[in-house]
Structure 1
Amino acid sequence: MSLMELRKVWGSAPLLAVSVGVFIRDEHGRVLLQRRGDDGRWSEPGGALDPGEDFLTGARRELLEETGLTCDDLALLPLPEGLQDGPDLYGRYPNGHEIYVVGRRALGTLPAAALEHAAPDDSGETLELAWFALDALPDLSSNANRRSLSVLRARVGLPPLPLAPTPPPPPLGNHLMDLRKLVGPRPLFSPGANVLVTDDHSRLLLLRHGGTRKWTLPGGGLEPGETFEQTAARELLEETGLTAARLEPLEMYAGPAYRFTYPNGDTVDNVSVLYRAHGVTGDLTPQDGEVLETGWFGVDDLPDDDELSGELIRANVRHWREGQSTQP
């Protein structure tokens, strides 16, 4: 379901907005910004993904809708600088709708003269487009814009932009389950994180999930105001009793390939960051009810694909297996 559809049943309370920010720079190092129709302030082009959409497809669509431009070299920024998440990315629209932005950042280049051919759509989202130097930015619309532009500023040695104060995030609960009570089994974005944990014998930890009865990785869903890394650490502890000294982001997965339908019919569009755990401590203690059993698997004895819990977990396991095959 789209954000607009969710608002009809959820009201104005905070929602996770799975979004992509699009940064276009010209030959002078300036960045393209739009003056927004909702608050009159400036932001990069971008917005919420459509159901089932991947981030790069969403970035291209939003750029075209809000500027009328296309960019051949548009690409997602690498992790971790390409990630959008955390309590600072709270936003409240003039109509009272509250969000926490989570997602990615994309970057591309166009000549300054491309702006002469800009043609935003007639939605009213874009009032004006202009190039700005990174050390002479206008009044920005939100912390999401400030955080993202600080990433670009850091690349040229400029300090981060100050952030506006934000309210404390809601207490941890089960955001996805709360939405399910209102929307039924229809597809919902499910931002979250999974964790690769290995032992001293280079074996991968897998968990047999109580709901699907298939093998999965430690991990789960992100709550409003959490970072992906905080989600990974929390879920690792809850499901296994283990703690990591450091979590290294490896890859982010989103798009139609990672849609998953649970046995009860509930459907999610997974938007997931894969982490590798370093410095793992604690006693392996499976979470009662959610984890039926645990297992350590080497490259040659991994479960078959049909025993793994969906394409997201299969992709995560492939990432680990391919990494093992390239090690000396």
Structure 2
Amino acid sequence: MSYLSELRSVWGSSPLISVGVSVLIQDEAGRILLQRRGDDGLWGVVGGGLEPGESFVDAAHRELREETGLTCPDLAPLPLEEALVSGPEFYHRYPNGHEIYLVGMRTHGTLPAAALAHAAPDDSGETLELRWFALDDLPPLSSNINRANMNVLRLRAGLPALPLFHFPEAPPHDDHLARLRAAVGPRPLFAPGASVLVEDGRGRLLLLRHARTGQWVLPGGKLHPGESFEACARRELAEETGGHAGQLTPVQLLQGPEFRYKDTSGPWDSVGVLYRAEGVTGEITLPEGEITGARWWAADEVAGADLLGLYTRRAVEAWREGQTTPASHASLRP
């Protein structure tokens, strides 16, 4: 039974955050490989949900094998700004009534057109047909995720973007992941979220002291259903520091089996997007009970900081490696 199926057995059809991967395969003529889906009879790219402990790239290779029987040696993530999937437009209601908000990433690879002659989808019924399509001659597509996937490639090819289907407003923010944890118990769950790199005028990094552990973390937190990674980063920056970013640029996706962590409720598989903030303004205001301190750290001293978990350590390493990257500094006032 898949991860989502296990959750559905407890959660029912109500909205869930579904962490998944899209597999965009093109042939030598630039045509895209699409599958006619077994659930609605419409067309879409290969892809599906991650299993706990699985990386996006591993999931992409698995989904490609299951849904086509093919392998793609050069399958890799798209550049980050094209790869990320999140936001209210990625709401989907399946024919069986199950509702999801998709978050995740896009991968891309190439295969010769002749490879399709060797396709052998598994017997799950998920793939009814496979075919190559020109980007300017697409069949009826299933859901906004597939229209958005095509738009990434169409814009690259100089073609206009396809309009998205109507989607509902994101639901009000609530304790979705806490409610899900209470319902399913101490099994691994995905924890999508975002964190923010903020520098001051001297090029120092802002870290916050976590109230529960006393260790240092970046501003950041978990997504709400229907929230984009960037919206999450902006919200968490404001809630935890009082700062407001003029611009946020994604610089790294931190995800994979090594980023599993545990708290008192159970294990979580982190799916975190790291953003670099520019033009941050405001007055540092810390949320009572969650953050007990804030400090600016220079690159040569942050190695001695007691950082919370592998995620924070990798994020700070990414910041140190990017010290030569120009950025407008924060004017956050203490």
TM-score normalised over the length of structure 1: 0.96
- Structure 1 residue 291 and structure 2 residue 327: aligned? no
User: In structure 2, what is the equivalent of residue 230 of structure 1?
Assistant: 231
Q: Deviations over 1:272-299 (max 9, x none)?
A: 1000110010001111111011111111
CA separation of 1:27 and 1:15: change in aligned 2, threshold 3 A: same
What is the letter of the counterpart of residue 37 of structure 2?
R
Distance 1:304 1:21 in 2: 39
Q: Which runs of 5+ in 2 are unaligned?
A: 327-334
User: In structure 2, what is the equivalent of residue 267 of structure 1?
Assistant: 267
What is the letter of the counterpart of residue 61 of structure 1?
R
User: In structure 2, what is the equivalent of residue 301 of structure 1?
Assistant: 301
User: In structure 1, what is the equivalent of residue 65 of structure 2?
Assistant: 64
The alpha-carbon deviation at position 228 of structure 1 amounts to 0.4
User: In structure 2, what is the equivalent of residue 321 of structure 1?
Assistant: 320
User: In structure 2, what is the equivalent of residue 158 of structure 1?
Assistant: 159
Distance 1:152 1:213 in 2: 46
User: In structure 2, what is the equivalent of residue 240 of structure 1?
Assistant: 241
Distance 1:210 1:170 in 2: 29
Distance 1:239 1:303 in 2: 23
Q: Deviations over 1:54-109 (max 9, x none)?
A: 11111010001000000011110012111111111110001100001100001100
The alpha-carbon deviation at position 257 of structure 1 amounts to 0.9
User: In structure 2, what is the equivalent of residue 168 of structure 1?
Assistant: 169
The alpha-carbon deviation at position 185 of structure 1 amounts to 2.8
The alpha-carbon deviation at position 213 of structure 1 amounts to 2.4
Q: Deviations over 1:159-184 (max 9, x none)?
A: 11111111222111122111111123
User: In structure 1, what is the equivalent of residue 122 of structure 2?
Assistant: 121
Distance 1:121 1:293 in 2: 54
Q: What RMSD in Å do the two structures reach over aligned CA positions?
A: 1.3
User: In structure 2, what is the equivalent of residue 73 of structure 1?
Assistant: 74
Distance 1:132 1:65 in 2: 21
Q: Is the 8 A contact 2:65 2:121 kept in 1?
A: yes
The alpha-carbon deviation at position 303 of structure 1 amounts to 5.0
Distance 1:18 1:42 in 2: 20
User: In structure 2, what is the equivalent of residue 181 of structure 1?
Assistant: 182
The number of residues matched between the two structures is: 325
Distance 2:319 2:157 in 1: 34
The alpha-carbon deviation at position 24 of structure 1 amounts to 0.5
User: In structure 2, what is the equivalent of residue 203 of structure 1?
Assistant: 204
TM-score normalised over the length of structure 2: 0.95
SS of the equivalent of 1:122 reads coil
- Structure 1 residue 33 and structure 2 residue 34: aligned? yes
**What aligned pairs does 1:46-61 form with structure 2 within 5 A after superposition?**
46-61=47-62
SS of the equivalent of 1:198 reads coil
The alpha-carbon deviation at position 212 of structure 1 amounts to 2.8
